[in-house]
Amino acid sequence: MSGAPERQIDDLRLRILDDFEQAGIGWVWATDAEGRLAYLSDRAIQSLGAESSQLIGKPLVELVDIDRDNPDEKSDRSLNFLLSSRTKLSDLVVKLTDARGQPVWWSITGHPKIDEEGNNLGYRGSVKNVTVEFQRKLEDSRMAEFDSLTGLANRHRMDRKLDSTLAAYKSAKRACALMLLDLDKFKYVNDTMGHPAGDDLLKQVSERLRAVCGGKGEIGRIGGDEFQIILPDMDDRGELGELADKVIQMLSSPYQVEGKRAIIGASIGVSIAPYDGLERDELVRSADLALYAAKNGGRGMYRFYSAELKDVEQERQLMLDDLREALANDQLKLHYQPVVRTKDHMIVGFEALMRWEHPEKGNIPPMHFIPIAEDSDMINVLGEWAIRRACQDALQWPETVRVSVNVSAKQFSNKGFVSIVTNVLADTQLNPDRLELELTETVFMGDSEATEKTFNALKHLGVRLALDDFGTGYSSLSYLRSAPFDKLKVDKSFVDSCTQKDQNSAKIISAIIGLSNALGMDVTVEGVEAFDQFNLVCEKGAKYIQGWIYSKARPQDEILAEIATGGYRIKPNGPDQYRPERRSVFRRIGIIHEDHRYDAVMRDLSKTGSRIEGLVGVPVGTGMVLDMGGGQLVVCSVVRSEDATIGVEFETPLISDGAGGLCTRHRVSPYALAAAGMPLTSLPPGNYPAAMMGDGPRSQPQFMQVQVQRS
């Protein structure tokens, strides 16, 4: 009789389980010893729109897996690992797909079933549908981790991503680059066009960043107009420089915002782990210093981090203070580069170029101090001084010779700019037609009505207007249609490459000259240095040339001395062929040859080679490695040798550092240095590959090292 109550209990248990499943309170699942789905409640199968035969007998891990988007899931273990290790499952959220292809999320609980002999019989457990709750949680998580305006990752998510990437990559000895990006002139657009326009602009910037970098790494907006890009497995500075250039060009293209044109720019700082930092804070600080250096170097450029970069904000303020003192103490000068008519080599004008000889720091290039002045009201004071001094100096030249002065966009947009020009002309009594104001496309950014009024007022005064750097922007033709320019200036970048094969620069120069002739404008070709360039641009119809082939910029006293002797006709004089610029330097480097290291001095440097002093008796054809510091090693061979001077050619050309300097594509990895016995840290300044050469016996040195002094 005892069997009857047991059967009744079993029947009751089945009815309760059936009621439990039918009521939708929860479902039951089970797998066999091989991990195949052996049982799943009918209601669960029906909720997926599937047939029992489509699920039963299939490996569970093929049907579901842990959702890595789950913000609450901290484990990086797969479901297959959990099941094979017989781990107890407790409210584990898994993702599967229903018959319509839509994602569904279940929360499963289960425990492994083991028989008395310890054999695995599979899993038994319960499951419930948590799709609605999980989607809400995902949305909440997205709002916490993504920028609501642009949809890009926010600072919190980028910090977590960078932390996890650097931690994983340190153990795997992999590299990761970080770009910090800051928009130039965004505040001006925001202030003049309003915050809704600024928001629209940020959305467009985000879309352009996705288009350029979306497949390469994670993009985040970490502040108002600040963005960050994490680029895994990238340490080639040539590749990174090309990407940074592409980003800058893309973001500098004009935007349509509320029916108006807006132009901004971008500056980028780049750091690379493990070279510039092993942890997030160090890597971000390195990129931040590089970004400030890029902004201080002239904006619209990128800069790689190097150990030489200091507290840029402090240096920036010091330079601004020095600049004010320089203006007050007459340390600033104007030098003048002639514009020459090609048919008779007569000087028709001079461009005024600012020079600053600092009493302690020496010559400071305009590209370093002009951007700092533009970030303060100093640019207006500096600009007025330049126009006044140039007009005063021009009074001492022949009346047929004009003077041109560069005007920044900030000067041009200053409400008092036209009054400044008017007062200078009145005070100096210079014929307005002899003053030429050189502008760039950035003057068209912002209030188009105010820009047009300024153009009209200047033309009413009778001064001439020139569009500088023509051809390097994005919509110059529309400017020519609406602005009253008298002259176009062909940018030096086209001239530099106009004689090279597979370049369109010669065709572009020809097109610009033809366009200016059709519009009745003058055109000046800038940057001509060699006769191959000179002959080519003259063949294309160049009537006016400004470049070293005629003269560099010189001070007023030299100009007056030549004019006094009738010397305002100049014959062209330069090399037959243009050679890419070789920078004069005085840089102490190491030279590694076989198992010896020598100290030497680099005297000049180009992308493909260098002149070096300090070693005697080096045969032509000798292979060596230059240690340029900071982990930069350059494989080269000797192509010239005379006394203590050698000329070397690099096996791999150097690349631009984004700020007018040159650097290697790759550096010695801190992991390699650590393997040689140095502590694992980001690359320190100085030279240290000697540490990798070991302490074993050395052969006799083959070359004699001599001391080189700065001259």
Convert the pLDDT of each residue in 370-389 to its tens digit: 878 887 778 899 999 999 99
Q: Could you tell me which CATH number the domain at 583-705 has?
A: 2.40.10
What was the pLDDT predicted at 310? 61
Q: How far is CA 665 from CA 130, 235, 591, 607, 649, in A?
A: 51, 8, 19, 11, 16
Cross-strand pairs, 304: 270
Question: Encoding tokens for residue 222?
Answer: 């970490």
Joined together, the tokens standing for residue 402 give: 């004009």
**Range 666-686 average pLDDT:** 82
Instruction: Give the pLDDT band of residue 410 (cuts 50, 70, 90).
Output: confident
Of 5-14, 89-98, 533-542, the range with the lowest mean pLDDT is 5-14
User: Please, which pLDDT band fits residue 688 given cuts at 50, 70 and 90?
Assistant: low
d(C-alpha 124, C-alpha 113), whole Å: 7
Q: What mean pLDDT value characterizes the chain?
A: 85
Q: What pLDDT sits at residue 636?
A: 95
Query: 293 pLDDT exceeds 90?
Result: no
Grouping H, G, I as helix, E, B as strand and the rest as coil, residue 52 is helix
The one-character DSSP state at 196 is H
According to DSSP, the residues that pair with 599 across neighbouring strands are 590
DSSP state of 706: -
Strongest mean pLDDT among 31-40, 102-111, 421-430, 588-597 = 421-430
Span of 168-177, 323-332, 699-708 with lowest mean pLDDT: 699-708
- Binning pLDDT at 50, 70 and 90, where does residue 261 land? confident
pLDDT tier at 596, thresholds 50, 70, 90: confident
Pseudo-torsion of CA 515, 518, 524, 525, nearest 10°? 40
**pLDDT of 452 over the 90 cut:** no
Res. 474: pLDDT tops 60: no
Burial degree of 584 (CB within 10 A; 0-12, 13-18, 19+): exposed
Q: What is the pLDDT of residues 213-235, one digit of tens each?
A: 988 899 999 988 999 999 999 99
Asked if residue 200 has pLDDT above 90, the reply is: yes
Listed in order, the ranges of the chain carrying CATH 3.30.70.270 are: 146-309
Residue scoring higher pLDDT (608 or 691): 608
| pLDDT score at 1 | 46
Q: What is the mean pLDDT of residues 627-641?
A: 92
Average pLDDT over residues 344-364: 88
384-412 average pLDDT score: 93
99 vs 161, higher pLDDT: 161
Contact 436, 465 (CB under 8 A): yes
User: Across residues 617-642, what is the average pLDDT?
Assistant: 92
The correct answer on CATH 2.60.40.10 for the domain covering 146-309 is no
- What pLDDT shows up at residue 86? 85
Label residue 544 by pLDDT band (50, 70, 90): very high
Higher pLDDT, 347 or 76: 347
Class of domain 329-564: alpha beta
Q: Is the pLDDT of residue 24 over 60?
A: no
Residue 675 has pLDDT above 90, yes or no: no
Among 23-32, 217-226, 457-466, the minimum mean pLDDT is found in 23-32
Q: For position 74, what pLDDT does the model report?
A: 53
Percentage above 70 pLDDT, the chain: 87
Q: In angstroms, rounded to a whole number, what is the distance separating the alpha carbons of residues 431 and 438?
A: 17
CB-based contact 707:615 (threshold 8 Å): no
Task: Return the HEC string of 531-586.
Answer: HHHHHHHHHCCCCEEECCCCCCCEEHHHHHHHHHCCCCECCCCCCCCCCCCCEEEE
CATH 2.40.10 maps onto the chain at 583-705
What percent of the chain is modeled with pLDDT above 90? 40
pLDDT at res. 218: 93
Six token digits for residue 682:
């980001």
pLDDT digits (tens, 9 = 90+) for 604-627: 888 899 999 999 999 999 999 999
Would residue 273 be called left, alpha or beta, if left means φ above 0 and alpha means ψ between -120 and 50 degrees? beta
Indicate whether 7 pLDDT > 70: no
What residues contact residue 193 under an 8 Å CB cut-off, 6+ apart? 257, 258, 260, 262, 446
The predicted model gives 389-414 an average pLDDT of: 92
Question: What is the CATH code of the structural domain delimited by 3-138?
Answer: 3.30.450.20
Which residues of the chain are in CATH 3.20.20.450 domains?
Answer: 329-564
Write down the pLDDT at residue 14. Answer: 65
Higher pLDDT, 447 or 65: 65
Predicted confidence band of residue 25 (pLDDT cuts 50, 70, 90): low
For residue 445, pLDDT over 80 is answered with: no
Report whether pLDDT(274) > 70: yes
Which residues are paired to 637 by β-bridges? Answer: 623, 649
